[in-house]
Structure 1
Amino acid sequence: MTTPQNDPKAADAPLLLDQQLCFALYSANLALHKLYRQLLAELDLTYPQYLVMMVLWEKDDVTVSDIGARLFLDSATLTPLLKRLETAGMLHRQRSRQDERQVVVTLSEAGRLLRQKALAIPESVRCAAACDVGTLQGLKQQLEILRDNLNS
């Protein structure tokens, strides 16, 4: 008779790939990024650039540190992203008049216009996920709680 103490599968359970929350999140993230890569190709944006643009579409004229805090990114990661978006004509970066140590980011006209093209993306993601809005909203809330718990 096999007991949990001498069952090799039970002993290995903590290390089985299919038992790992991290792998479920990782593989779902890979699938989601593949979908976004396809959807964002017509906007000529990468996923991280899309996140920056969403922050700016929500609230324009913000500091680099504000964007970084919102996206959980440090300035060393964010600065090259912002430079590429500026080169693409999507935004402007300039030193703050109030505090020369801060850089303020504002949308260009092209960046504002790009928002219209991006409006269909969330619905395309919802359709690809084959979930109703309530299910996705609940999953999002659970992931936010998990993120906040892991960050504390």
Structure 2
Amino acid sequence: MSAILFLLVVLFWAAVASALAFKLVKRIPASIGLRAALWLVLTPMLLLAPMADEIAGARQFEALCRPENAYQVHFKVDHPRDLRQVRKGHGTVAGRWIPIGVEQTDYLDRKTGAVAASVKAYRTEGGWFSRKILQGWGPWFGRGECAPRPDQVRQLLTLAGTV
């Protein structure tokens, strides 16, 4: 059912983009061949315009979800009891096409209080289209959250030699 709805929305927007491009090109005083060429270029641009931030933002979000950005291990501790989990709170990642929130969790060494490891969880509601039109359905392209599960964090810290 959702695939049919998606297809209908895409077809509707393609018709709107094509009609809008035709109206814009019709006003240009040029030959019919040049107008047709402009229409063929302008229609796909108008079709993708509302999704431009979604497409670019999804790529930026996936780049943040890579392991090298999601966690950092600073030094080893002797035993898991030597670690204390501390949530640092929520923030926003600056310089992105779409709003991306981040929550950082630090694992502190109980003896020294130094940060042994940091894990970041990212979330997004998507770009303009997802936030304004879909309202809560999540991002149009890609996923809306990426965070290691607690068992993945323990495994990650164990493999890295921290736990």
After TM superposition, the score normalised by the length of structure 1 is: 0.30
In terms of fraction of residues, the more strand-rich structure is 2
In terms of fraction of residues, the more helix-rich structure is 1
Q: Which has the larger radius of gyration?
A: 2
